[in-house]
Structure 1
């Protein structure tokens, strides 16, 4: 009998750095990652191919899952993969490490995933583009990294609207996302003060920083318009400025 062909996609694509792609297989084979999904910049770059990304960010949404014993379990596997690995488990629900020259992080989050993960041959799941897009709104509102604005530009240029991204965010965090959160995100989308200090990421398509900023400004305007519509329908209490 002929072997069954594995039709799962691989993380090994041009948008994923050599170090990240090389580590992904051994990590997935050595560590049970069934409770986690790869998300963040590398997962989005894998899906869209718009820039190079070189780290592996895993997330769990099971409450309390990334507890100290779980941190120790993962840290032990990382040390087996690289005896010189640098590992930080000092923060609750968080692991930061550098393994075989690749940055690897694990985060315990609230909320919920929206659909099944994309399963990779490396042995772990990947968050969907819709989920990552919603997470990018949170990322840009908590830090102002230039790469996040390029990611948002790539999403917008492929048809992901502010309305769709914010709707996904509301679905991921039921009863937690209100007009105030939306207004904070809209303001963050037009605050480039910190991002101006960052270098451009390694881009795989021709986009300028000015174009990325314009996309963010359009997303902010569209989000404010959507928030006004939501408020008219009874969502949230705070008045959205015109």
Structure 2
């Protein structure tokens, strides 16, 4: 699948070619990874995930494109930096010590030399994250993913990736409740589509999915 790098905002686009300096144990996940694959919206940050733990200050010192950037979040296995390019801000986050699995091998790009998560793995994380937050972008992403994967498949993917930590009922509830956060402004067509699909779900008939590895890369 050819990546849609033209969807990147100016700062992210300028930073894109520098991302090859990212340590090879990190994989690009999140909304930007999905938008790069599907081209359906802009996303303003880069989220890198790793199964391995890391020390944030050491990581900061070892990545050239982070130098002189602002550390907006720093904690155990977590680092978020705000990077200026073309007088605009790009946000890059690193999350380590993650314990969930993957379904497929990430795609290894050549320019920049980074790994990007598969569509199946991105679908699993996207259907899980709506349990933790009510942001319109996630529902827009799920609506777009439904052009490629069924809701049953996404739920099955998340069950495989997260194991007992994922309760599909919570995601189904989140997909039908639009009163929190930005969700009252969600497009009515998306709401109706999601309601219709959720009402058709039989959790006892989800496909069986096998993980490829317990490590993200």
TM-score by length of 1: 0.74
In structure 2, the partner of 1:167 is 156
Are residues 196 and 173 of structure 1, via their aligned partners in 2, closer, same or farther at CA, if it must alter by over 3 Å? closer
**If you compute each CA radius of gyration, which structure gives the higher value, 1 or 2?**
1
Counterpart-to-counterpart distance in 1, 2:33 and 2:163: 24
Structure 1 segments of 4 or more deviating over 3 A?
174-177, 195-199
Deviations 1:165-193 (A, max 9, x none): 0111122124444xxx1111111111222
Q: Is the 8 A contact 1:141 1:185 kept in 2?
A: yes
- In the alignment, structure 2 segments of 5+ residues that lack a partner are 207-217
Q: Is the 8 A contact 1:152 1:215 kept in 2?
A: no
Counterpart-to-counterpart distance in 1, 2:195 and 2:117: 26
Are residues 162 and 72 of structure 1, via their aligned partners in 2, closer, same or farther at CA, if it must alter by over 3 Å? same
Q: In structure 2, the residue corresponding to 1:90 is in which secondary structure?
A: strand
Are residues 218 and 197 of structure 1, via their aligned partners in 2, closer, same or farther at CA, if it must alter by over 3 Å? closer
Q: In structure 2, the residue corresponding to 1:141 is in which secondary structure?
A: coil
Q: Is the 8 A contact 2:46 2:91 kept in 1?
A: yes
Query: 2:100 is matched with which residue: 79, 93, 111?
Result: 111
CA shift for structure 1 position 92? 2.0
Deviations 1:21-71 (A, max 9, x none): 221221323x32x111111111111111111112101111x2xx2332xx2
Q: In structure 2, the residue corresponding to 1:173 is in which secondary structure?
A: helix
Aligned length in residues: 200
Counterpart-to-counterpart distance in 2, 1:162 and 1:175: 19
Deviations 1:59-85 (A, max 9, x none): 11x2xx2332xx22321245x435541
Counterpart-to-counterpart distance in 2, 1:148 and 1:135: 10
Q: In structure 1, the residue corresponding to 2:122 is in which secondary structure?
A: helix
Q: Is the 8 A contact 2:120 2:157 kept in 1?
A: yes
Matches within 5 A, 1:52-63: 52-60=42-50, 62=51
Deviations 1:128-160 (A, max 9, x none): 11111111111111101001111111111x131
Higher relative contact order by CA 8 Å / sep ≥ 6: 1 or 2?
2
Q: Is the 8 A contact 2:4 2:39 kept in 1?
A: no
Residue 150 (str. 1) matches residue 140 (str. 2): yes
Q: Is the 8 A contact 1:138 1:185 kept in 2?
A: yes
